[in-house]
Amino acid sequence: MKQDIRKLTAVQLKDWFTKNGEQGFRAKQVHEWLWKKSASSFEQMTNLSLSTREVLNANFEIRPLTVDQQQKSNDGTIKSSFKLFDGNLVEGVLIPALRNDDLDRMTACVSSQVGCSLTCKFCATGYMDRKRNLDAAEIYDQVVAIDRQAKENYDAPLTNIVYMGMGEPLLNYKNVLESVDRITSPDGLGMSPKRITVSTAGIAKMIRQLGDDAVKFNLALSLHAANDQKRDQIMPINESNTLEALGDALAYFYKKTGTRITFEYILFYNFNDTLQDAQELWKFTKRVPAKVNIIEYNPIAEANFKNTDPQTLDKFAGYLESKGVIVNVRRSRGKDIDAACGQLAGKKV
């Protein structure tokens, strides 16, 4: 079986070339084709000789993902089902954002796992089995494909990337960080890490590891309740990663990186939307410099949660703002094609 060439480092690639009688500088050319020019075949590497390309083709393969299905929402959001080399499917989303009728942001929402193991009760992906982690190249390929969609549909490149698709990024730690490196490196796509946000359901040990690794990207915590009893009910991961443990880990992360945290909070009707809930959230935000994104709930067939009403949302947000918390209310995009937050489940259309 041929080796996946994108699993080799630049050093390993150079070693292979020299051991096989090729000039070492060819490795740099191949590396550039793979990560800067996003080549999906050796035939595209036109500055290599035909014989070199044939040798590469005989020993290696490139495993690019392909678009299996694509849907466009009434609001312009585009959801793609991506097929991986082994036939597994993941979903990614392009979210165009307007400001004063002009395109302001182009955001790619990418997946990090096939399925998920965390079983969050409000999330469609949580009702799937976790089949495997994505490797760094598969995450990178989602960004390349969604960037292409942005240019084709809106004549604009991606401006932001969020790891908020299928899976828990911090349970695929090595590959997620490697993918960020490929996306941000001058030898890769050259995007700013400050334009990237990794969202976690809350793995305290790995949040601390992010601090030790001095990552430059943004971190978001899917909180959704600021007391353990309620969070246990909707996010079983909280039983082994309590709010106290998460608060300590986030403070450590901030101390190491200086990066403000984003708390994501879905307001569920008659569950976590009272002023007492808002007060508990405010107290939790005091643990570390943070802002709060209040997210509209997107119903799924597997759960009976409901979105809170507009008046309750306004009171909740208003309380936080009165305490000096930065609050953004995020309206869902792509609900009509099951592309909104919590709805990704790989369903065929």
Binding site, by residue number, is: 116, 120, 123, 167-168, 199, 222-224, 298
Q: Which residues neighbour 179 within 8 Å (Cβ) at sequence distance 6 or greater?
A: 136, 137, 139, 140
Q: Nearest to residue 110, comparing CAs of 65, 165, 160, 151?
A: 165
> Would residue 341 show up in a list of annotated catalytic residues for this protein?
yes
Residues annotated in the binding site for [4Fe-4S] cluster, as ranges? 116, 120, 123
Q: Return phi, psi of residue 107, to 5°.
A: -110, 130
32, 54, 91, 152: the catalytic one is: 91
22, 138, 296, 341: the catalytic one is: 341
Residues annotated in the binding site for S-adenosyl-L-methionine, as ranges? 167-168, 199, 222-224, 298
Residue 208 to residue 287: CA distance in whole angstroms: 15
Active site residues: 91, 341
